[in-house]
Amino acid sequence: MVRVLAIADEEAPDLHAGALRDLAPDLVLSAGDLNWDYVEYVASAVDAPVAFVPGNHEPAIPRVKQTRNGTYVCDGIVCDAPRPHGAVNADRSVLEIAGLRIAGLGGCVRYREGPHQYTQQQYRRLARRLARRARRAGPVDVLLTHAPPFGMGDGDDRPHEGIEALRDAIEILQPTWHLHGHIHPYGHPKPDRQLGGTTIRNVIPWRMLEITPRALAPRDAAGRMV
């Protein structure tokens, strides 16, 4: 069982350093739209890895590679370590971290100019690529996105429209959890939603979960998880 602290969109005053130590997560997942100083603060306060996807309010993230000697290179030029420090960018990637397999897709449906915003057609392409990577990697435990699927906890206005392609991605990947932010609960936690065997949860401002890796989950005689 992996203890996961999921955070998104709103800085939580009750997540002070003492509380973070008491929660003792094995992994922190950020679903985006958090100030990088806050993500770095959480990363420094817990003895656990941190992975994130960007939201629509974060700045553009340059493509940075780390060389063998530990320096970072961006567009062929030595640069600073990417922010947020202490966190791994899971956007459009499949990561194996803290015993879980995480598939990540950041941003939201385009409603204005800015980074990390895509049309529904662009999301269909991004989701297909992510699904191919995930199928090669193996069973996915968590689909981590900023925005929710269309019609599954999204909003009625254009800025909070859900991503149509996520419904197909969930049906293909069948993750145990789909964690997202973007839709602010304004003090009233949003209910979980179910799509097949996947539980969809809005994690704003933070939620704790205990997740059994799919590779370790018990199965019936037909090989299905029980």
Q: What is the pLDDT of residues 68-105, one digit of tens each?
A: 888 889 878 888 888 899 999 999 999 999 999 999 99
Share of the chain above pLDDT 70, in %: 95
* pLDDT for 175 beyond 50: yes
First vs last C-alpha separation in the chain? 15
What residue has token string 């392409």? Answer: 125
Beta bridge mates, 5: 28, 208
What residue has token string 């974060």? Answer: 58
CA dihedral of 33, 194, 122, 184, whole degrees rounded to 10? -30
Arithmetic mean of pLDDT over the chain:
92
pLDDT at 179: 99
Comparing CA positions, the residue from 181, 173, 115, 195 lying closest to residue 147 is 181
pLDDT at 132: 94
State mean pLDDT over 7-27.
96
Q: Is 224 exposed, middle or buried (0-12, 13-18, 19+ CB in 10 A)?
A: exposed
User: Which pLDDT band holds residue 223 (cuts at 50, 70, 90)?
Assistant: very low
CA dihedral of 90, 177, 116, 53, whole degrees rounded to 10? -30
Whether the link from the prior residue into 205 is cis, omega within 30° of 0, is yes
Whether the link from the prior residue into 84 is cis, omega within 30° of 0, is yes
pLDDT at 216: 63
Coil/strand/helix, residue 151: coil
Among 26-30, 135-139, 213-217, the range scoring the smallest mean pLDDT is 213-217
Task: Give Cα 146 to chain centroid, integer Å.
Answer: 6
State mean pLDDT over 142-149.
98
Comparing CA positions, the residue from 14, 56, 4 lying closest to residue 179 is 4
Name all domains of the chain by residue range, CATH numbers in brackets. Answer: 2-211 (3.60.21.10)
Give the chain's largest Cα–Cα span. Answer: 55
For β-strands 117-118 and 193-195, DSSP reports them as unpaired
Higher local confidence (pLDDT), 217 or 211: 211
What tokens does 39 get? 């993500």
What residue has token string 């094995």? Answer: 26
pLDDT at 75: 79
State mean pLDDT over 193-203.
97
